[in-house]
Amino acid sequence: MDVPLHSAAPLGATEPPGATEPDLVTLGIDVGGSHIKAALVAPDGALLTNYERVVTPLGRKPDVVVDTISALVAPLGRFDRVSVGFPGATREGTVLTAPNLGNDLWHGFKLAERLAARLTRPVRLANDATVQGLGAIAGRGLECTITLGTGMGFALFTDGKPAPHLEMGQHNAHKRYSYDQYIGHAALIRDGVKKWNKHVLRTVDALRVLVNFDLLYIGGGNVTAINFALPADVHLVSNETGITGGVRLWDGVFRRRA
């Protein structure tokens, strides 16, 4: 798998001396609209530690988030490289949009570079739905991932390779609502579980027409609220994939699942 253009190590970052790829431990960080999670991941994608989790400091300057991440990962132990899933559009280690964190504060922020300097390890950055998808997909055909959390994340893959990022959560879903507003967390609270599930199912149907996916994976914190019968081409995935998928940002070759 080629690393997507929006997932890049900062200039000057190098692999730790003496480490080889089979031995490298990845620190996976999942930045969400409500919480930031982190854990250490083995080269095969297995979790080496339990999650550490902290409330996301919304509305604060990005450097406060960097400080928060640094404090969060301190107890986890040794790691060789870092992957970060971020809820917005990113390119070459830089944040372009952050709809649920405060766009104006984040636009142009070199998050990968700042974290690499703080954590003294190379960092790669991608959209959080892309990272979650990398932890879930089989690597065959056209696969799609959506995440149900504060908003709706979206990622698309062809034979394991991520497509250019689309901010589908900001696209119009129904009447005046974007998909973030239609099936995000505020919609679940506003509309209740029954109506929210209808909206999620309508979204699945709309995405099937739009992208003609072979398989769709649904993850995120609100996936536990889904109560409709899943079509054969739709699978629910664990929140762990938002962390474990970070290993594949560093893999030179996509390792297909059996």
CATH topology of domain 21-128: Nucleotidyltransferase; domain 5 (3.30.420)
Every domain of the chain and the residues it spans: 21-128, 133-241
Dihedral sign from CA coordinates of 43, 90, 146, 183: positive
Domain 133-241: give its CATH superfamily.
ATPase, nucleotide binding domain (3.30.420.40)
pLDDT at 39: 97
All residues at 6 or more sequence positions from 177 whose CB lies less than 8 Å from its CB, including other chains: 187
- Identical topology for domains 21-128 and 133-241: yes
Strands 161-162 and 123-127: unpaired
**What Cα–Cα distance (Å) separates residue 117 from each residue in 18, 110, 144, 147, 182?**
20, 11, 33, 29, 38
Residue whose pair of structure tokens reads 């149907």 in the numeric block: 205
Mean pLDDT on 15-34: 76
For residue range 32-83, list pLDDT tens digits in order.
989 999 999 999 999 999 989 999 998 889 999 999 999 999 999 999 999 9
Mean pLDDT on 150-162: 95
Distance of alpha carbon 87 from alpha carbon 102, whole angstroms: 11
Return the percentage of the chain with pLDDT > 90, whole number: 81
Residue 240 pLDDT more than 80?
yes
Decide if 63 contacts 57 (C-beta within 8 A).
no
Residue 251 pLDDT more than 90?
no
pLDDT at 6: 30
pLDDT at 61: 92
pLDDT at 196: 98
pLDDT at 23: 86
Mean pLDDT on 10-38: 71
pLDDT winner (highest mean) among 6-10, 32-36, 65-69, 238-242: 65-69
